[in-house]
Amino acid sequence: MKSNFNPFTLEGKNFLITGAASGIGRATSIILSKLGAKLILADINQEGLVSTIKCCDSEAISLQIDLSDAASIKDKIFKAVSEFGKLHGIVHVAGKSYIAPLKSVTEEKCREVYSLNTYAAIELAKTFINRNVYAGERGSIVFISSVYGVVGSAANVAYAMSKSALHGITKSLAIELAGKNIRVNCVAPGFVKTNMMDSASSMFDSNYAETLNKLHPLGVGEPEDIAFSIAYLLSDAAKWVTGAILNVDGGFTAQ
Amino acid sequence: MEKFNANIAEILEVDKVEMDDELSSFECWDSLTILSIIALSGENYNVTLSAAEVNNAKTVGGLKELIKSKMK
């Protein structure tokens, strides 16, 4: 007789995913839907959200939102949840890169990167723990940082600041929210084939793709490689995992 | 583009630049300087440049013309 044993299932769970209109966010939405989750897909790009929803196997709704406008996050999520149902977790994928050498870095751009990559994560977590949003039982929050939150690289000071800060937030919230049975973890991806990587690559010379590949013993990744790790952290298979920074980087940081 | 020359001079770590100065002749010319020019172009003129375009511009004047030609 075939066993129904599957601790990785996401059946009966609702999640909110930011950055769901493209790249890692889209791949994550598709994988979670295939694992049975129902989804609120959030992004500033409504057209991209509609495309992602068409790829999903389970119920999914779109939430157009500018996450760099922290003051709007709570109300928009409250409204979406009141129509959709309470959540078992959130995934903050949305983010922007800012490649600029130190002498070109400006406070304005640093704040812009920080507000989306970092402060939105805090505001999302704050909204999630509200009794009108959190479904109770077991909760899981997953942030997406970067290998550049772990190791250094030139011309990356603002992005590195925003991503390494997520590691501190992850560990602090893991402790603070354990009592509510909410786990908080972070995935630190290496380079994966997305539009963000393409636009960054255009700033460098023609050997950049080869250079990037050499940084990853397993080669550059696919968005799905990150999505699978997120699915694990959201599932009950990870019920004893909290405060972890999971490097999913094809061996980038193993060197 | 009134501050273009002053901004480029700052990036190239000199007091002033001339239109026919060759970009690759500056002592600080390297991949990070190219990134600084790309950042300047994006932030001040809303023009996206690639490293190849910056290299192909050859001179300060060529760079200025390149940015002007891509401004909307």
Using one digit for the tens of pLDDT, what is the confidence trace for A63-112? 999 999 999 999 999 999 999 999 999 999 999 998 899 988 999 999 99
> What integer is the mean pLDDT of B55-65?
95
Question: A1 falls in which pLDDT band (50, 70, 90)?
Answer: low
Residue A148 pLDDT exceeds 90: yes
A104, A204, A205 member nearest B40 (Cβ): A104
CA distance A115 to A180: 26
Q: For residue A205, what is the nearest residue in chain B, using CA coordinates?
A: B51
On whether any CB of chain A is under 8 Å from the CB of B10, the answer is: yes
CA distance B54 to B32: 12
Residue A234 pLDDT exceeds 70: yes
CA distance A119 to A63: 19
Sign of CA dihedral B52, B56, B60, B61: negative
Residue B1 pLDDT exceeds 80: no
> What integer is the mean pLDDT of A175-190?
98
Tokens of B8: 């480029």
Q: What does the domain layout of chain A look like in residue ranges? A: 14-191+224-249
> What tens digit of pLDDT does each residue of B10-45 get?
999 999 999 999 999 999 999 889 999 999 999 899
Residue B53 pLDDT exceeds 80: yes
pLDDT of the residue at A211: 83
Residue B46 maps to which CATH number?
A: 1.10.1200.10
Instruction: Identify residue A156 by its one-letter amino acid code.
Output: N
Q: Residues of B numbered 34-53 whose beta carbons fall under 8 angstroms of chain A's beta carbons: which are they?
A: 34-36, 38-40, 43, 48, 50-52
Residue B2 pLDDT exceeds 80: no
How many angstroms separate the CA of residue A101 from the nearest CA in chain B?
Answer: 6
Instruction: Identify residue A138 by its one-letter amino acid code.
Output: R
Left, alpha or beta for A152 (phi > 0: left; psi -120 to 50: alpha)? beta
Q: For residue B32, what is the nearest residue in chain A, using CA coordinates?
A: A101
Residues in Cβ contact with A66 at an 8 Å cutoff, skipping those fewer than 6 apart: A44, A72
> What tens digit of pLDDT does each residue of A185-218 get?
999 999 998 877 777 777 776 677 788 889 999 9
Report CA-CA distances (Å) from A54 to A33, A225, B59.
Answer: 11, 21, 49
Report CA-CA distances (Å) from A185 to A18, A162, A189, A244.
Answer: 15, 16, 13, 5
Instruction: Identify residue A232 by its one-letter amino acid code.
Output: Y
On whether any CB of chain A is under 8 Å from the CB of B56, the answer is: no
Q: Which residue has the tokens 């928009």?
A: A76
* Structural domain containing residue B40: 4-70
Residue A4 pLDDT exceeds 90: no
Q: What is the mean pLDDT of chain A?
A: 95
Catalytic residue at A232? Answer: no
Partnered with residue A139 across adjacent β-strands are: A182
Q: For residue A201, what is the nearest residue in chain B, using CA coordinates?
A: B50
Left, alpha or beta for A202 (phi > 0: left; psi -120 to 50: alpha)? alpha
| Fold type of domain A14-191+224-249 | Rossmann fold (3.40.50)
A101, A109, A203 member nearest B50 (Cβ): A203
pLDDT of the residue at A137: 86
Number of domains comprising chain B: 1
- A101 with B32: Cβ contact below 8 A: yes
- B10 with A100: Cβ contact below 8 A: no
Chain A and chain B share a number of CB contacts under 8 A equal to 39
Question: A146 falls in which pLDDT band (50, 70, 90)?
Answer: very high
Order the strands of the A139-144 sheet from edge to edge: A60-64, A38-43, A14-18, A89-92, A139-144, A182-189, A245-248
Least-confidence region, from A51-60, A116-125, A159-168, B44-53: B44-53
B11, B33, B51 member nearest A203 (Cβ): B51
State what percent of residues in chain A have pLDDT above 90: 87
Within 8 A of A206 by CB-CB distance, chain B residues are 52
**List A114, A119, A159, A232, catalytic entry:** A159
Residue A250 pLDDT exceeds 90: yes
